[in-house]
Homo-oligomer: A and B are copies of this chain.
Amino acid sequence: MMEKISIGWQKQPNKLNIQGTIEKAIELVTKQKVDLNASGRTDAGVHAKGQVANFKTDCKIPIEKFAIAINTNLKKSIRIIKAEEVEERFHSRLSCKRKTYRYVINNSEYGTAIYRNLETHIPMKLNVDRMNEAAKYFEGEHDFKAFKASGTSSKNSVRTIYKAEVIKMPEERIYIELTGSGFLYNMVRIISGTLVDVGIGKIEPEDIPNIIKEQKRELAGKTLPPQGLYLMNVEY
């Protein structure tokens, strides 16, 4: 399990990325080239508090020493929080049962200087009760075609959301928390943008079932920026 900031996950030539950076650190520890599989990619700007990735090695270093050994070879913008041995068939993405994302909004008049890369500032006053009412309509199994980035390959866009909640936090922050079987590309950021439209009164909570049903991207809200998004937890 690991935590990272802002840099994208996927390996790209000549571009800073989490996957390649950790693979190199593991290589320094195990003296073996490894392939690191994450539970899913995270875009540049998105934060991960509980990302999970697996790799195979026959290195004999005791498992309880792995996290600290890899951290020693990483910059502080990536931290391995925990390492554990798993069965041969385990795959971080394919074995994943549930994921939880949090979207963090700062709803104060001027936003904050200190957390400006760690939240999205929305100065218009949001009605959290309305947003929470709307969030409940996302729960259950639906085709979320309207809530994926246009242009991304579709195949199957049916997903199950187990829990969708909008929570008022101290210092004028709002958390949007979604737990689901899996999420389409930009799905959390588009659902969050739609809930913001509900919060400012542009969309009614009861409109949500129809937006889901129509499967048209343009009926849903804007894609909110990446810096408010956190991958919180992956369950197996």
Contacts and interface: CB of A to CB of B under 8 A. Distances in A.
Contacts of A2: 113
Contacts of A135: none
A118 interface: yes
Contacts of A4: 113-114
Contacts of A116: 5, 76-77
Contacts of A47: 114
Contact of A5 (B3, B67, B114): B114
Contact of A79 (B3, B68, B79, B113): B113
A78 B113 contact: yes
Contacts of A76: 111, 113, 116
B113 A3 contact: yes
Contacts of A67: 110
Contacts of A3: 112-114
A227 to B, nearest CB: 11
A211 interface: no
9 contacts: A3-B112, A4-B113, A4-B114, A49-B114, A76-B111, A76-B116, A78-B113, A79-B111, A79-B113
Given A5-B116, A76-B116, 16 more contacts: A3-B112, A3-B113, A3-B114, A4-B114, A5-B113, A5-B114, A67-B110, A68-B110, A71-B110, A76-B111, A76-B113, A78-B113, A79-B112, A79-B113, A80-B110, A81-B110
